[in-house]
Structure 1
Amino acid sequence: MIDTDAALAPFEVDDLDGDVLLDLISDNTDQEWRAERRRLRLAYQLCVTHPAVEADPASWADGILDLAGYTDTLGGEGTPEVAAFTVELWATAAGVSTWSAKRTLAAALDLHHRLPHTWAAVEDLRIPGWKACRVAEDTNRLSLEAATWVDEELARRGTWGLPTIEKTIKTAIAMFHPDLVKNNGLPGRDDWDVTIDHTAGVDGTSRLDAIGDSVDLEKFHSLLADEAATMGRLGDTDTLGQRKAKALGALADRQATADLLGLLNDDTDNGGSSTDGDNQAGGLVHPVTGKPVTRRRSYLKTRLYVHMTLADLATMAGATTDAAAAGGHVAATNLFGTVHLDTLTTWLRDLGTNARVTPVIDTNRDWAVDHHDPPETMREQVILRDQHCVFPWCTVDARNCDLDHIEPYDEHGPPDQTRPENLAPLCRRHHLAKTHGTWRYVRNRDGTYTWTNHTHAWLVTRDGTTSLTDP
């Protein structure tokens, strides 16, 4: 393996040892620190050359209304404002996500205007740029007075170790922002929520997090523990933790059954006047009113799209679970990532009649409508086709995006303007960048996208972004 040193002299990595190896490690660290310093210099220069000239500067939201907590400009208090969509200039030139670009530009602004001693340490190569960015990021929302105190205290100590940085910033918060520590940094009522993350695991595994009233959560946890214990007594050999996780589904199914029997509400879905033909509950009646009970479906409301080959579909339909697993066949889903066919088979078996299988959406269907907003089927087609925002290096899920007319819609224009080939998912900030900025794009015949901005161009596919401009 051949590499080159700082003087561009070639060397064989596999032959290195002793002092020569250590010298090259030190040389590599020096190059990294210099590269980080240059990156921050360039980031600040981009901000300087793109000052805000109107009342809509670049911010953590860049004009996206009602984005809670992200309406502040990039730099903290005391930094100059930057023109809208400057972030996209850095992101596309550096080949990074928009969020990464925001962090870099904000850190560059804060280091120059709020943390001059820390920036001087970067300039003198006394600390790496990433450590200075850590200070800038952790003080970005603090007042200029608090940030200045942190900067001066770190310079007085002469050290920027992570424990020192963390302790100094916590002290500054206590001194200048006591309101931020009223709960000792712990979650309070304002943080109550229940969230689910389908990207946290593999093969049909997700993560559920809850913050709420202590008594309520303890009651629910005890209920899960009791359910898991019952499973164990009935012969389930999984671990206690696995049984508690499975108990979530068991309790949800039991809740649906309780509604089916009408135990929670004297009124059925059709107002308690079900006819024999509508009574799909197998002759069940309400235990109090004696009226027929109309079946309620499962509480599962997720729409899952599964992408698989015809061969895999045949395997799933005709083979046993063990055979499907042994074959190693997998399918891609819109929510749960890649899962084994035996996992899908298990889901369908467990859901039974509550699993509704609908025809597939043809992502290559060519059709059009003569109004601005696409129908739901067309929207689903475009979302499934592209899967994420098609701006360079953006990975925002298409379901959280706007559908943009690539050729702007003209209400007085020709028919068939709203069609899949003229629609593409753009997250709100990149939709605004395309509408009000200098970015333009086209959809290519092979389904990829070519973006241009001034003299630069990028090719965007479902799998990533490639720069088309020579460095």
Structure 2
Amino acid sequence: MTANRVGGEVGREAPTPSQAIALSRYAEALDLSHAADIARTRALADLGHAALHNARRDGARGLASDMELRSVAAEAAGMARLTDRRLQGEIDHAMTVIDDYPTVFDAWVQRRIERGHVDLVVRVGAGVPAAVRDSFAEAAIGVCERDVPSRVRGALETLAARLHTQTFTERHKTAVAERCVRVFHGTDGMSNLVASLPTVIAAGMLDRLTQMGQSVKDARVAGTGGAGAGGADAAGRGAGADAGESSAADAAEAGEPADTRTMDQLRADILGDLVLGGAPVVDPTYGTDRAGGLGAIRARVQVAVAAETLMGKDENPAEAVGAGLVDADTVQRLARQVSEWDRLFIDPVIRTPVEIDTYRPTASMKKLLMVRDQHCRFPGCRRAAIRCEIDHTIDYALGGHTHIFNLAHLCQRHHSMKQFTKWEVRQIGGGVLEWTSPLGRTYREDVPMPAVCFTIDTASPPRDAGSGGPPTDEPPPF
């Protein structure tokens, strides 16, 4: 804005009428959003309270109470077009806010603080003992009133640590017991691998990866026997060089070009090499005549890929079921490591069902169901089929047949919910499932859209490939 001298004083231009109207509308929108957030939180908490009340009324405890929460979350998720896991998390959060932090909720209602403040107080307060929770909440409100949510986290964490009844050392021992590794799938065939570790271990791992990365980078400087190779040797010894670093020095002597990877890329590549190619130091069989029992463990990934892609005729991505897309080069490298391919035969027109008299489906039926379902068949759930259980839609004990169209993959969460709550499911043909909620709403779960489509090449019929891996000039025998 420009300054104008009015009556001997410097003033600022007043907002134009259109700006004033827009600001007024924005203020109204903020009021509506605030009221909606408050109403949604109360409604979600009421859902959770009603579910727990029904469980207590029926004399249920423990697992049955959780089943009631799962059931009502699934019902609400259908209304909101969200996943039931997310809805149950929101219900738990709403009950925590209203039941455990009533003063914080009241401050939110009065608009002394914002929703971001409330979420942050609940998150930081999760580690605060119940005995000092009220004191923490009162002090936290004062902290939140002074600044925006993104700037008060540190102050809230300091407050929580000061009020905690245990020492930091005691709390650290508890936290170490909860160390874990998780993967979060992203886009463009990439994922984030996140490890929750003691800080000293995490910092040491990063430092170690950095030293190893620098050794690899130094070792692969172009030329033989020069300063690059010698520098790498010295750096490797200083960092505790291992076989991987020695092989890098050998590469330098062979005259390979300089390594152009960034340090971030090097750290990521080395971490993958160590995890996939190494063995745990606690493996009692490591160092004998093989990598050891634990070191021989290999990861499993369920991939749906077209034969054309495996043959190298196109570069279409494959699908890692339950995760995301995988590039063609990676899939082709994985395929070359497969020692045997199994064929799946099914009528391409009527999809003739397979049935047996025993409780457990045959291996062929399991493979067919894996291809058909791809993931858990509860509406909205995308847990990969390899992480699910095969469920009889009509219970086997109640006369249900072990038949392709009476079987479907369900994750443990939704399998147990089907068994212990009033959710009902039936198959209406073609592998399509129809779910009915306790309140009578119906949800149709169609057969997943196939990630690949197989066609017959009449011009060059496939030859018998034998029992080994797929030949390079024809599709693998599925």
Check 1:85–1:424 CA distance in 2 against 1; reply closer, same or farther (3 A cut): same
> Structure 1, unaligned stretches of length 5 or more?
1-15, 64-81, 257-261, 270-295, 465-471
Cα 1:169–1:58 change in 2 (3 A) is: farther
Report deviation, 1:409: 1.0
Q: 1:332 to 1:397 in 2, by over 3 A?
A: closer
Q: Are 1:252 and 1:299, in contact at CA under 8 Å, matched by a contact in 2?
A: no
- Separation in 2, partners of 1:305, 1:374: 20
C-alpha change, 1:155 and 1:58, in structure 2 (3 Å) is farther
Between structures 1 and 2, the one with greater helix share: 2
- Mean Cα displacement is larger for which, 390-399 or 236-245? 236-245
CA distance in 1, matches of 2:140, 2:266: 50
Q: Is the 8 A contact 1:332 1:339 kept in 2?
A: yes
Paired residue for 1:307?
304
Distance change in 2, residues 1:451/1:302 (3 Å): same
* Deviation (angstroms), 1:247: 4.6
Shift of 1:408: 0.9
Query: Helix, strand or coil: the match of 1:424?
Result: strand
Give the structure 1 partner of residue 354 of structure 2. Answer: 367
Residue deviations 1:404-454 (CA, integer Å, cap 9, x gap): 21111127x47xx12232122222232222112111112333443221112
Partner of 2:36: 35
**Does 83-92 or 116-125 show the bigger shift?**
83-92
Which whole-Å CA distance do the structure 1 matches of 2:261 and 2:173 have between them?
31
3-state DSSP class of the match of 1:182? helix
Partner Cα separation in structure 2 for residue 266 and residue 401 of structure 1: 36
- Output the CA distance in 1 between the equivalents of 2:159 and 2:34: 28
> Deviation string for 1:8-50 (max 9, x for gaps)?
xxxxxxxx95222222222222211111111112122223433
Identify if the C-alpha distance between structure 1 residues 440 and 399 changes in structure 2 by more than 3 Å, giving closer, same or farther.
same
Higher mean displacement: 167-176 or 205-214:
205-214
- Shift in Å at residue 158 of structure 1? 7.2
Distance in 2, Cα, partners of 1:388 & 1:143: 39
- What amino acid maps onto 1:436 in structure 2? F
> For the residues of structure 2 that align with 1:450 and 1:173, how far apart are their CA atoms?
50
Question: What is the aligned counterpart of 1:176 among 152, 164, 168?
Answer: 164
Equivalent position of 1:355 in the other structure: 338
**Secondary structure of the corresponding residue to residue 416 of structure 2:** helix
Cα displacement string for residues 44-95 of structure 1 (whole angstroms, at most 9, x for unaligned residues):
2223433131342579x937xxxxxxxxxxxxxxxxxx86744334333333
Tell me what 1:381 maps to: 368
User: For residues 438 and 263 of structure 1, what CA distance do their matches in structure 2 show?
Assistant: 51
- 1:418 lines up with 2:402 in the alignment: yes
Instruction: Return the letter of the residue paired with 2:288.
Output: N
Sort the Cα spacing of 1:152 and 1:365 in 2 relative to 1 into closer, same or farther, 3 A. farther
| Conservation of the 8 A alpha-carbon contact between 1:149 and 1:172 | no
- 1:111 match: 97
Counterpart of 1:330, as a letter, is P
Q: Give the alignment partner of residue 185 of structure 2, picking from 187, 199, 202.
A: 199
CA separation of 1:138 and 1:369: change in aligned 2, threshold 3 A: farther
Q: Secondary structure at the match of 2:185?
A: coil
**Cross-structure match for 2:109:** 123
Query: In 1, distance between residues paired with 2:276 and 2:134?
Result: 57
8 Å contact from structure 2 (residues 392, 406) kept in 1: yes
**Equivalent-residue separation in structure 2 for 1:443 and 1:331 (angstroms):** 29
Match of 2:424 in 1: 440
Give how far 1:227 is off: 4.3
Partner Cα separation in structure 2 for residue 263 and residue 133 of structure 1: 47
Match among 265, 269, 290 for residue 288 of structure 2: 265
Q: What is the rounded CA distance, in whole Å, between the counterparts of 2:166 and 2:291 in structure 1?
A: 53
Alpha-carbon shift at residue 152 of structure 1 (Å): 1.9
Equivalent pair of 1:119/1:132 in contact (CA under 8 Å)? yes
CA RMSD of aligned residues (A): 4.2
Q: Which amino acid aligns with 2:162?
A: A
Say which of 152, 155, 179 aligns to 1:167.
Answer: 155
The corresponding residue for 1:25 is: 26
SS of residue matched to 1:103: helix
Q: Which moved more, 1:455-464 or 1:205-214?
A: 205-214
Show CA shifts across 1:377-406 (max 9, x none).
Answer: 433432332232222322333322222211
Question: SS in structure 1 opposite 2:288?
Answer: coil
Match of 1:95 in 2: 81
**What is the distance in 2 between the residues matched to 1:21 and 1:252?**
56
Could you say if the C-alpha distance between residues 370 and 118 of structure 1 is closer, same or farther in structure 2, counting changes exceeding 3 Å?
same
CA distance, structure 2, for counterparts of residue 39 and residue 264 of structure 1? 59
The TM-score, its normalising length taken from structure 1, stands at 0.65
Q: How does 1:234-383 map to 2 (within 5 A)?
A: 234-235=256-257, 237-241=259-263, 242-247=265-270, 264-265=287-288, 301-310=298-307, 312-313=308-309, 316-317=310-311, 319=313, 324-325=314-315, 329-334=316-321, 337-347=324-334, 354-356=337-339, 358-359=341-342, 361=344, 366-383=353-370
Say if 2:132 is the partner of 1:143: no
- Of the three residues 443, 448, 452, the one matched with 2:436 is 452
The answer to whether the Cα contact below 8 Å between 1:200 and 1:207 also exists between their aligned partners in 2 is no
**Distance in structure 2 (CA, Å) of the matches to 1:197 and 1:427:** 18
- Once the two structures are TM-superposed, the CA of residue 101 in structure 1 deviates from its matched residue by 2.1
Q: TM-score, normalised by structure 2?
A: 0.65
Tell me, in whole angstroms, the C-alpha distance in 1 between the residues paired with 2:24 and 2:448: 39
State the one-letter code of the partner of 1:317. M
Residues in 2 aligned to 1:306 and 1:429: alpha-carbon distance in whole angstroms: 23
- The corresponding residue for 2:66 is 62
Number of residues of Structure 1 aligned to a counterpart in Structure 2: 379
1:58–1:32 Cα change, 3 Å: farther
The one-letter amino acid of 1:39's match is: R
Q: Distance in 2 between matches of 1:436 and 1:410?
A: 15
The CA distance in 1 between the partners of 2:275 and 2:157, in whole Å, is 45
